[in-house]
Amino acid sequence: MIGKLTTHVLDTAHGCPAGGLNLTLWKIENSEYSLLKTTKTNADGRTDEPLLVAEAFQVGVYELVFEVGAYFQHYGEDLPDPLFLDMIPIRFGIANANSHYHVPLLVSPWSYSTYRGS
């Protein structure tokens, strides 16, 4: 099996996929961050292609940063200044480069959760 990394963002405040949400993927080695990818979610709340796949998918520590503040401000809701949630970093490790790692995010302006999906 070829390893890959995917994500899916669901807007729990509006009960829909979070389309148009910007995110960045970083690799962390020896406390140094290397930017691997900047992208956004499609109408289904997913990226159009895996974030990492095949040779680019390696054992290590990574961080996905989801720009949820800008996403929710797009709805024009009455949100506080500063925002309660703006940038959500999720740091995770990849231990098996031959596996599928899926990092979903369920989010509202006030809360979020994640898990290792399938």
Ordered by where they begin, the domains of the chain are 4-109 (2.60.40.180)
Task: Answer yes or no: is 14 a known binding residue.
Answer: no
pTM of the model: 0.95
Rg of the Cα atoms in the chain: 14
Residue 26, pLDDT score:
98
Task: Answer yes or no: is 8 a known binding residue.
Answer: yes
Alpha-carbon distance of 73 to 64, in angstroms, equals 20
| Per-residue confidence in pLDDT tens, the chain, 118 aa | 789 999 999 999 999 999 999 999 999 999 999 999 999 999 999 999 999 999 999 999 999 999 999 999 998 778 999 999 999 999 999 999 999 999 999 999 999 999 999 8
Residue 78, pLDDT score:
86
CA angle 73, 5, 55 (to 5 degrees): 135
